[in-house]
Amino acid sequence: MRIRLDIAYDGTHFRGWARQPELRTVQGTLEAALARIVGSDVQFVVAGRTDAGVHAAGQVAHVDLDEAQWSRIEARHGRAAHDPAGSIAGRMRGVLGAYPDVTVLRSSLAPTGFDARFSAVWRRYRYRLADEIAGFNPARRLDTTSIRAELDVEAMDAAAQSLIGLHDFAAYCKAREGATTIRTLLDYRWARDADGVLIAEVKADAFCHSMVRALVGACAAVGEQRLNVTDLVVLRDALERTSDFKVLAARGLTLTEVGYPAEELLAARAEQTRARRDSEASD
């Protein structure tokens, strides 16, 4: 029985999403909570693995429960007049305790063909950056990066939009052996919110390691007038990491949403994505 889980977390005290021996991770914490409920080990598949310190408001994962595990869920509430799959979220919240830094917002039976990772068609992130104009707000210190400069948000927005499209983003990714850096950047914009904080909205089919934090760091350099708009395209097309800008801190980054196609297209999308990733890995 495949279950979809919609998840939120404050990444400050986690060593990222992925389970690591003897380290506190989001995956490890959630799997341990669900294992207590179903009586045996489980393994989550996630839409996008976030790095240490990165937050999520709209993360998506799935877990496959075997017959014995599902029977324990059904036995708790009965097979009729209740939604056993939907009850999983509440039971996990109970295990996680009051005021946890990770929670399960919703749980549901996954549609046929659904794969949290491979069925996704896009991921959206938000980055919060406070400059000298916005000032420092201690109440937002865990989800906002501060920079000691006055930034030109119009120049940053123009630079961001110049990067949109299908490209090799090797210059904006931390290299991983066997992993492709070709991505489609669907949208990238900067604006100030009502408090003057600079907000980046970044959307792509997928992101490679450190890509969003590198993209916002590059635009911050444009905002400080250390680089200009065309420099970011030149650096991208050079396909090499550079020291011309800094990769900004994880604290400002939040995964806000994952997009999926209509239910009848989920299986085809997953198959297409797997085939493309296998092809790129073998090149």
Active site positions, annotated: 51
Separation CA 92–CA 104 (nearest Å): 7
Cα-to-chain-centroid distance, residue 182: 17
User: Of 197, 201, 129, 189, whose CA–CA distance to 154 is shortest?
Assistant: 189
Quick one: which of 21, 19, 38, 39 has its CA closest to 29? 19
| C-alpha count within 13 angstroms, C-beta hemisphere, residue 122 | 15
Bridge partners for 201 per DSSP: 126, 189
Round to whole Å and give the CA distance between 43 and 91: 17
How far apart (Å, rounded) are the C-alpha atoms in residues 79 and 77? Answer: 7
To which residue do tokens 């007038």 refer? Answer: 225
Residue pair 47/60 in contact (Cβ under 8 Å)? The answer is yes
Distance (Å) of CA 53 to CA 9, 10, 33, 71, 249: 10, 8, 21, 36, 8
The answer to whether residues 281 and 178 touch, using CB atoms and an 8 Å cutoff, is yes
CA distances from 279 to 119, 180, 273, 274 (A): 17, 10, 10, 9
